[in-house]
Structures are given as C-alpha cells and as structure tokens.
C-alpha cells in the first residue's frame, strides 16, 4: 500500500506531509530511516522514549512518518524502510507465502528483518542516547506483523508494540518463550471488521493467543473499517501510549 489515508484534520495532515518532504533520509544505521527529535526536551537525568514506525507492504519510511505530529512531544520518532525492494516500487519486510495452508512469510526474510529491526533499535538507543527501557514498535499491516515478530521474541528489550491491522504467523509461535518478562510486554491491537487484506478473525485469534500466554493486550475493534488507520484508531493508540 503506497499511502495510508488518515481521516484527520485537513490542516494538520497538510502540515505533516509538508514536514515529511523536508525530512532527510538517514543511512547510517542498520535500516534507512527518517527521524524527528522530541519537541520537548527531557528533564535532566532523563532519557527520551522512542517510537519506531514499521510501514506496510509496498510503502516506505515516509508513510507512517506523518503520524509523528500526533504522538506525545517527548518521544523520539523514527520511521524505517523495510529491507526488500519491490520491482514495482516500494519495499517489503518479507515475501508472503503459505505454510500448511496458512498465511505466512519466507522464513529467511522474516528472520533477517527481525534481526535488522532489533539491531536498528539498539543503534538508535545508542546514537540518540534514548531510554532503552521505553522503546515501542508501532506497525501497520506487514509492519504490524513484524511488530509481533520482534516484540514477542525480544521481551525486556521492547516495552510495547502497537499492532495496526496485523496478525501472528503460526511459524512465530514456536519461537516465543513464555517467561515472566514476556508478560510485561504492552500490546495495542486495532483491526477493522471489514478488513479485506488481513481478516478480522486473525486479529481475534492473535488476541486470544496472547491472553493464553498471560499477556493483556488492549484490543480494539472498529465496525465497518477496512485495512486502514482512521482517526478513531489514532485516538485509541495515543490514549494507550499516554497511559504507559
């Protein structure tokens, strides 16, 4: 998806897009990215929390970066580019496939993308002197799936994940270790009942599975919404962030 349409105030969206065009692509870390430093400097002896944005299939680092003006002003916002280029333009985190009749992704690409995300996370914390205990992954679609992939396999490193229209691959389940640290992972899930790309039932299945593991996901259903992010999703996501 080349662009996600956010049903936000027109002026705010215009300002956000204009600022995204001015942002400079950074290429010094494991993944290429755009960055916005906090508008509010942290108090002395405090480090800034981090949001790492993971875009969906066929998009790039500019897509979710539009959200940065709506996140809390004390956060470091980083939007990354997936590692695999598509011939038609845009990027992906993995090539889709099936396993035992179920939707999945190529294992080597999933593993590589997960490794790159976690390497990038540590590099960002080090470079920007950010708070290693307050790192959030927020992704849409493929990016949401990668939020599960990275967050559920790195408990204690990632504090929380925002899963916007995603699912948990069955291939991931065997890699998850049900530890006390895992249960501390904060999870936000949003999904529309009319999603034609990733069925709403997949979100419910993921939510049920997470609860079996002892996690307490903040699950939100949006009647009539398709594969997208709307203003209600953003409102709920921000409330979740502000309550952590």
Q: Of 17-21, 95-99, 117-121, where does mean pLDDT reach its minimum?
A: 17-21
State the pLDDT at residue 14. Answer: 38
Question: What's the rounded mean pLDDT across residues 22-46?
Answer: 86
Contact, 94 vs 63, CB < 8 A? no
Q: What is the mean pLDDT of residues 67-82?
A: 95
- Of residues 228 and 13, which shows the higher confidence score? 228
Which spans in 10-106 are helix H? 10-22, 61-65
- Quick check: 46 pLDDT over 80? no
Residue 182 has pLDDT above 80, yes or no: yes
Mean per-residue pLDDT, 182-194: 97
- Among 19-23, 63-67, 180-184, where is mean pLDDT lowest? 19-23
User: For residue 21, what pLDDT is reported?
Assistant: 46
pLDDT attached to residue 43: 63
Instruction: Note the pTM of the prediction, 2 decimals.
Output: 0.90
CB atoms within 10 A of CB 239: 12
Residue 1: the pLDDT is 46
Cα distance between residue 222 and residue 57, in whole Å: 22
Pick the CATH number of 10-242 from 3.40.50.1820, 3.40.50.2020, 3.40.718.10, 3.90.1150.10: 3.40.50.1820
pLDDT at 42: 63
Provide DSSP, 155-186.
Answer: BTTB-EEEEES----HHHHTT----TTGGG-E
So where are the chain's domains? 10-242
Q: List, in sequence order, the alpha helices (H) in the chain.
A: 10-22, 61-65, 107-128, 142-152, 170-173, 200-212, 231-242
Q: Is the pLDDT of residue 20 over 80?
A: no
**What is the C-alpha separation between 227 and 221, in angstroms, rounded?**
12
* Residue 165 tokens, joined: 């229209």
| C-alpha to C-alpha distance for 178 and 153, rounded to whole angstroms | 10
pLDDT of residue 62: 97
Angle between helices 107-128 and 142-152 (to 10 degrees): 70
Q: What's residue 58's pLDDT?
A: 98
75 in helix, strand or coil? coil
């Amino acid at each position: 998806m080349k662009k996600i349409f956010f049903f936000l105030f027109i002026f705010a969206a215009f300002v956000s897009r204009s600022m995204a065009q001015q942002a400079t692509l950074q290429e010094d870390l494991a993944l290429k990215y755009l960055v916005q430093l906090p508008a509010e400097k942290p108090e002395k002896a405090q480090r800034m929390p981090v949001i790492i944005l993971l875009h969906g299939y066929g998009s790039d680092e500019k897509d979710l970066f539009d959200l940065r003006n709506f996140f809390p002003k004390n956060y470091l916002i980083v939007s990354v580019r997936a590692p695999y280029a598509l011939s038609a333009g845009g990027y992906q985190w993995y090539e889709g496939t099936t396993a035992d009749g179920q939707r999945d992704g190529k294992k080597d690409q999933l593993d590589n993308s997960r490794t790159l995300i976690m390497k990038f996370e540590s590099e960002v914390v080090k470079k920007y002197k950010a708070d290693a205990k307050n790192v959030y992954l927020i992704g849409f679609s493929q990016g949401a799936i990668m939020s599960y992939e990275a967050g559920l396999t790195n408990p204690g490193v990632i504090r929380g994940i925002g899963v916007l229209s995603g699912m948990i691959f069955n291939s991931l389940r065997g890699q998850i270790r049900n530890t006390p640290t895992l249960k501390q992972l904060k999870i936000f899930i949003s999904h529309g009942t009319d999603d034609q790309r990733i069925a709403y039932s997949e979100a419910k299945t993921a939510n049920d599975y997470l609860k079996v593991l002892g996690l307490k996901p903040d699950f939100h259903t949006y009647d009539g919404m398709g594969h997208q992010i709307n203003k209600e999703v953003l409102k709920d996501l921000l409330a979740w962030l502000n309550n952590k």
